[in-house]
Each structure stands twice: as C-alpha cells, then as structure tokens.
C-alpha cells in the first residue's frame, strides 16, 4: 500500500507554507501524519503536493494568555499530555487525550491535525466543540478566527479554504473567571480502549458558591456528522442544583437526540450510548467541581 506520487515540500516558515498553499494545486498539509498517511497509503487521498509543517517551530506551543489557553496547531498530542500548564488550565484536554490512540501515535500526532481531520467522534474535536474553541486560520491574505461550530463544516470536512492552514487553537478561559469552581470530564465508548470512539461526550460544569450550576457545556461526538453541542441539555442544567434526578432527565434528553448511524453501529445504539455517556460525564464533572 504505497501512496501515489506527490511532491514533498518542507517550508521553514509559516509564510513559506502559506505561499506554497496559495500557488500549488491539489496540495495537502502534512501535520503528524497519523490520519493523513494511512489515507494516502490506502490511496483514499492522492494529493499532488504535500506541505509538511513539521519544520516550522513557531507552530508548536502551549501558552497561557489573558484570554485563556492557546495551543499551536502543530503541538504534538504527547507534549500537550505532559504539559503542566494544560493540566492546570484545561484538564479536559488531558482527559480527552487519555483516549486518543496509543503513545506511538500521540508522539507524532498533532492537535491541529486531529481537529482538521474532524473524525466525528474523535476526542480532540469534541473537546474543542465543548470549549467553544476558536481556530486561528492563516492564508496569504491574512488571518481569521473561526469558532469551532463554524469550523466543523461536515463529515471529515472543515471550513478551511483551499489555501488556508490552521495555525492555533484558543481554548478560552475555561468557563468564567473562577476555574476552581469548574469541573470537566471526558467519557467515551470504544470497543477497545484506544480505538476511535463510537460515541464520546465532553462535559464542563461551572458552579457558583450556592452549589448551583452557573454554566454547562456538553458536546457529543459520533451522533452526527460533526461533534455537536447538546444545547438542550445545557439549558436543562443551567441554574439547577445538581442531583440524581436532574442528571437522569438530562441523560434522557441526550438519548432522545436524533443520531446518524451505520451498519456497524446503528443510530439507536449511538443514541443510547450518548445518553449513558452524558450521564457519566456529568456525574464526574460535578464530582470534580466539588472536590
């Protein structure tokens, strides 16, 4: 299974990369290669040009900004996993990464690559969805910011223009100014632990001093073509005191959402999983707030 022929480019700066994107036809960006190379080896995709971003050091970073955590698109999953800053500022990412592939793939796989690939149940896109992450996208014509909901255009399809590259992801301030009153959890069901999730749910809960839910973010992957926010569920949670009844009701709402299925994992199965995983994720998130 050898890929079809292509011309390989390894720009050393972002500008060089953007120039190449603007001038080359049938070009694809190579990030960590963990999603793209299998597709190329299977000849499912056959780019004429491969633009390797791996030699552009400024695209890999993890920084804390006044607006929240910001991560370069080419940051490897492994370095995010190991980052004390991420653990402190955005623990949902750490939880999500626990389920992502294997060490061998996380060593080279990037956060940007996973988010742009947009597998419907993949953990990093679901996390970005839950946190309303904002994508910084660059082209020769400049930069723009795209919130995740607009970035995820369709099945395996981002809204990146033909000459655009994702360069950074802003994860925001993690729910308001009091991160110590927030808790998050990532739950998924996969047949084997490291497999692609069939359904995954990310939940972030913020509570005020009166133990009332002040903010709730719940995102699910694997029930639609792209990860989606369960806004109905979120509304049910807000301004409520957490309790078993509430969680059950909310989970039932999640399970009632329409889902798209396939031969191997039909819609009904995915709906049930969505309900169940929402329940688990919320319980855990709330427990973590209280801890």
Partner 1 sequence: MSTHEISVTVNGKAYQRTVDSRLHLADFLRQDLGLTGTHIGCEHGVCGACTVLVDDATARSCLMLAVQAGGRRVDTIESVALPDGTLHPIQAALSRHHGLQCGYCTPGVVMTLLELQRECGNDPVGEAEVRRALSGNLCRCTGYQGMVDAALAVLPKASSR
Partner 2 sequence: MSGETLGTEPLGELIGRSVPRVEDARLLRGEGRYVDDIVLPDMLHAVFARSRSAHARIGYVDRAAARGLPGVHAVLSYADLRPLLTCDRIPLALPAAAVKFDAEPSCLAGDEVCYVGEPIALVIADHRRTAEDAAALIEVDYDELPAVTDPRQGLAPGAPRARLDCPDNLTAEHIVKYGDVDRIFATAAHCFAEQFRMDKGGGFSIEPRGVIARYDAGEDLLTVWDGTQTPHRAKTVMVQTLGLLEHQVRVIAPDVGGGFGPKAVFHPEEIAIPAAALLLRRPIKWCEDRLESFTATVQERRQIWDVEVAFDADGKLGGIRGRLYHDHGANVPYGVALPYNGVTNMIGPYVLPALHLVVSLCLTNMVPVAPTRGAGRPQGTFVMERILDRIAKTLNLTRDEVRRRNLIPPEKMPYATPIKQRDGSVMTYDSGDYPECQRRALKAAEWDTFPQRRAAALRDGRMLGIGLANYVEGTGRGPFESTAIRIGPSGQIVVSTGATAQGQGTKTMLAQLAASVLGVAADRIHVVDGDTAATPLGLGAFASRQAVTAGNAAYLAAQSVAKKAKAAAAVMLEVAPDDLELKDGDVRVAGVPKLNKSFAEIARALGGLPGFALPGNINPGLASAVDYQPTGMTYTNGTHIAEAEVDPISGAVKILRYTVVHDCGRMINPMMVEGQVCGGVVHGIGATLFELMRFDDTGQPLTGTLADYLLPTADVVPRIDIHHMESPSPLNPLGVKGAAESGTIGAPSVIVSAIEDALRPLDLRITELPILPSRLRAIIRAAQKSGKPV
Q: Does 41 bind partner 1 (CB under 8 A)?
A: yes
User: C-beta of 117: minimal distance to partner 1 in Å?
Assistant: 13
Q: Choosing among partner 2, partner 1, none, which partner's interface includes residue 232 (Cβ < 5 to 8 Å by kind)? A: none
Q: Does 3 bind partner 1 (CB under 8 A)?
A: yes
Q: Choosing among partner 2, partner 1, none, which partner's interface includes residue 19 (Cβ < 5 to 8 Å by kind)? A: none
Q: Which of residues 43-62 bind partner 2 (CB under 8 A)?
A: 43
Instruction: Tell which one of 107, 139, 159, 163 touches partner 1 (CB under 8 A).
Output: 107
- Binding-site residue total for partner 2 (CB under 8 A)? 25
User: C-beta of 174: minimal distance to partner 2 in Å?
Assistant: 30
Q: Does 42 bind partner 2 (CB under 8 A)?
A: yes
Q: Does 33 bind partner 1 (CB under 8 A)?
A: yes
DSSP the chain: -PPPP-EEE--SSHHHHHHHHHH-SSEEEESS-TTHHHHHHTTS---SEEEEGGG-GGG--EEEETTEEEEETT-BHHHHHT-HHHHHH-HHHHHHHHTSS-HHHHTT-BHHHHHHH--TT-HHHHHHHHTT-EEEEEETTEEEEEEHHHHEEETTEE---TT-EEEEEEEETSSTT-GGGEEEEEEEE-SSTTSPPSEEEEEEEEE-TTS-EEEEEEEEESSSSS-EE-HHHHHHHTT----HHHHHHHHHHHHHS-----SSS-HHHHHHHHHHHHHHHHHHHHHHHH-
Q: Which residues in this chain contact partner 1 in the complex, by CB under 8 A?
A: 1-8, 10, 30, 33-34, 37-38, 41-42, 50, 52, 54, 78, 101-105, 107-108, 192-194
Q: Which residues in this chain contact partner 2 in the complex, by CB under 8 A?
A: 1-5, 38, 42-43, 189, 191-196, 198, 263-266, 268-269, 272-273, 276
């Amino acid at each position: 299974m050898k890929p079809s022929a292509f011309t390989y480019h390894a720009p050393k700066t972002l500008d060089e990369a953007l120039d190449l994107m603007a001038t080359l036809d049938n070009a694809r960006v190579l990030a960590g290669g963990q999603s793209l190379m299998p597709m190329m080896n299977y000849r499912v995709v056959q780019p004429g040009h491969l633009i390797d971003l791996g030699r552009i050091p400024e695209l890999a970073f993890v920084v804390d900004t006044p607006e929240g955590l910001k991560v370069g698109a080419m940051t490897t999953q492994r370095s995010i996993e190991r980052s004390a800053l991420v653990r402190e500022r955005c623990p949902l990412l750490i939880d999500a990464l626990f389920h992502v592939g294997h060490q061998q793939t996380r060593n080279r796989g990037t956060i940007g690559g996973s988010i742009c690939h947009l597998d419907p149940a993949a953990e990093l896109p679901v996390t970005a969805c839950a946190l309303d992450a904002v994508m910084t996208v660059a082209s020769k014509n400049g930069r723009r910011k795209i919130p995740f909901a607009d970035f995820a255009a369709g099945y395996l399809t981002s809204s990146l223009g033909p000459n655009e590259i994702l360069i950074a992801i802003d994860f925001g301030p993690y729910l308001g100014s009091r991160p110590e009153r927030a808790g998050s959890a990532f739950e998924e069901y996969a047949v084997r632990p490291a497999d692609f999730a069939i359904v995954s749910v990310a939940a972030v809960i913020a509570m005020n001093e009166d133990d009332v839910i002040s903010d709730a973010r719940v995102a699910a992957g694997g029930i639609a073509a792209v990860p989606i926010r369960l806004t109905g569920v979120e509304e049910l949670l807000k301004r409520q005191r957490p309790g078993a009844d509430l969680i059950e009701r909310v989970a039932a709402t999640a399970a009632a959402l329409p889902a798209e299925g396939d031969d191997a994992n039909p819609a009904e199965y995915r709906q049930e999983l969505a309900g169940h995983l929402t329940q688990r994720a919320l319980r855990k998130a709330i427990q973590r707030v209280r801890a």
